[in-house]
């Protein structure tokens, strides 16, 4: 089973091949925002693939369109709901700038 390491949490999990990064994270109590429920409709599950990008499934046109909406987009940005695990990965879950706003009363 592939290993997936989540940064900056420094948590490493074992994941079934073919499962999405989002599902693997949620199954292991790792929080990744996913406002649309993992349907490639919101881009809140934006991640940065630090290692293993070339082992992921090809990006769809829908995913490309959604990534256009992402803050802090990188060359290795993907949506966790769209990436199927096939080998070891290192993933960064970017901080969301809006998280700070959630605490304002």
Report pLDDT digits (tens) over 5-51.
Answer: 999 999 999 999 999 999 999 999 999 999 999 999 999 999 999 99
**pTM (2 decimals)?**
0.89
Measured in whole angstroms, the distance separating CA 70 from the mean position of its chain's CA atoms is: 12
pLDDT digits (tens, 9 = 90+) for 15-27: 999 999 999 999 9
101 pLDDT band, cuts 50/70/90, is very low
**Residue 53 belongs to domain spanning:** 3-103
* Residue for token pair 């999990």: 13
CATH code for the domain of 97: 3.10.20.30
Structural domain total, the chain: 1
**CA distance to 30, 64, 75, per residue, from 34 (Å):** 12, 17, 21
Burial (CB count <10 Å: 0-12, 13-18, 19+), residue 16: exposed
């Amino acid at each position: 089973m592939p290993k997936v390491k989540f940064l900056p949490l420094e948590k490493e999990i074992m994941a079934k091949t073919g499962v999405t990064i989002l599902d693997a994270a949620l199954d292991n109590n790792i929080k990744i925002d996913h406002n649309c429920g993992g349907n490639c409709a919101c881009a809140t599950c934006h991640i940065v693939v630090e290692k293993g990008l070339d082992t992921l499934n090809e990006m769809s046109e829908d995913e490309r369109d959604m990534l256009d909406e992402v803050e802090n987009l990188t060359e290795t940005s993907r949506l966790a709901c769209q990436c199927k695990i096939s080998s070891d990965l290192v993933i960064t879950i970017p901080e969301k700038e809006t998280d700070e706003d959630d605490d304002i009363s």
